[in-house]
Structure 1
Amino acid sequence: MNIRLAETTDVEQLIKMRWDFTLEDDVSGKIQDSEYSKFHTECESFLIESLASDEWFIWVVEIEGKIVSHIYTELVQKVPRPGRVTYPFVFMTNVYTVPGYRGTGIGSKLLSTINKWAKEQKYEFIIVWPSDQSVDYYSRNEFEHCKGAMMNTIN
């Protein structure tokens, strides 16, 4: 098992995993295979730009050349405040493990690596919006519910 940052050579696997991840939750069947080409183009562009940036860090677990788990993290810069050094915080999204590897501890090992990285970099905190099914996973891995955020759903 190799935990590492994604590289451009991983783009095709990451696109397919994102597609599969989305289809798992598409109980309505709204997403059609015919949409894959358009999605592929958009996702490929996003991934290439993200991997070249200093804002996105895409973490993967690789086993025998196959990516079996990933977590996307984005640094969010904060406005400086007088009297203290201002560090960014980490927005975590697209947390996914291939079904055959779930429940093996791989996701927790990946999350532990990210927690350690964030502490070493002195990022202020990591934030994630968990699904109802993933709350226990995050709770087991040093995350706690917070209060204070508000949201305006635009669409």
Structure 2
Amino acid sequence: MEVRLAESKDIEQLIKMRWDNTIEFDENKKDESYDEFAEECRRFLEDAIRNNQWFIWVADDQGTLASHIYIELVHKVPRPGRITRPFAYMTNVYTIPEYRNAGVGSRVLKNVNTWVKDKKYEFIIVWPSDEAVNYYKKNDYVHCTEPLEYFPS
């Protein structure tokens, strides 16, 4: 199993994984149009990969994507007296069912953690579901207080 950054050749599998992830946790979405979703998602992924806008880490088992983690860098406004480094926003963490509970997702997460450390990014932030909190904790993540949110009406 190879852990690597996603490439254009992975787009169709990434689209299917995003769809499956959504349907698994929200069955009400299964009546949505896959074709419309796939078209929008394909555009997003093509742009994300081409422009290094997102860093999509995958576990590749001989051509089958078993797991993925999406990272977007958030650049901060420079501040006098210190080097300003971006932080990483992590989302869309998913392992397909047949690879779960075998350490595949943790292997991808450890790779992401090493990459963030090597690049000297400030930190990683993730908003896990209640079910995923232990996954992150066993991989050295700590629970923090909730941020403030604003929802425009």
TM range (shorter): over 0.9
Q: Write the mapping of 1:123-142 to structure 2, written as runs, cut at 5 A.
A: 123-142=121-140
C-alpha distance in 1 between matches for 2:60 and 2:137 = 24
C-alpha distance in 2 between matches for 1:119 and 1:149 = 23
**Correspondence for 1:19:** 19
C-alpha distance in 1 between matches for 2:2 and 2:29 = 35
C-alpha distance in 2 between matches for 1:40 and 1:85 = 40
Q: Write the mapping of 1:6-155 to structure 2, written as runs, cut at 5 A.
A: 6-27=6-27, 29-32=28-31, 35-147=33-145, 149-154=147-152
Q: Secondary structure at the match of 1:67?
A: strand
C-alpha distance in 1 between matches for 2:67 and 2:146 = 30
1:43-95 per-residue CA deviation (whole Å, 9 max, x = no partner) reads 00000000012331000001021001000000000000110000000000000
C-alpha distance in 2 between matches for 1:19 and 1:43 = 9
> What are the ranges of 5 or more consecutive residues in structure 2 without an aligned counterpart?
none
> What are the ranges of 5 or more consecutive residues in structure 1 without an aligned counterpart?
none
Q: Provide the aligned length of Structure 1 versus Structure 2.
A: 153
1:26-49 per-residue CA deviation (whole Å, 9 max, x = no partner) reads 23x3431x5101001100000000
C-alpha distance in 2 between matches for 1:37 and 1:59 = 24
Q: Secondary structure at the match of 1:91?
A: strand
Query: How far is 1:149 from its partner?
Result: 1.8
- Tell me: CA distance 1:154–1:100, structure 2 relative to 1, closer, same or farther (3 Å): farther
TM-score by length of 1: 0.95
- Tell me: CA distance 1:148–1:17, structure 2 relative to 1, closer, same or farther (3 Å): closer
Query: How far is 1:18 from its partner?
Result: 0.3
Q: What amino acid maps onto 2:6 in structure 1?
A: A
Q: Secondary structure at the match of 1:153?
A: coil
Q: What amino acid maps onto 1:69 in structure 2?
A: S
Query: How far is 1:148 from its partner?
Result: 5.8
Using the aligned pairs only, state the percent identity.
53
Q: Secondary structure at the match of 1:95?
A: strand
- Tell me: CA distance 1:10–1:81, structure 2 relative to 1, closer, same or farther (3 Å): same
Q: What amino acid maps onto 2:36 in structure 1?
A: K
Q: Which runs of at least 4 in structure 1 moved beyond 3 Å after TM superposition?
A: none
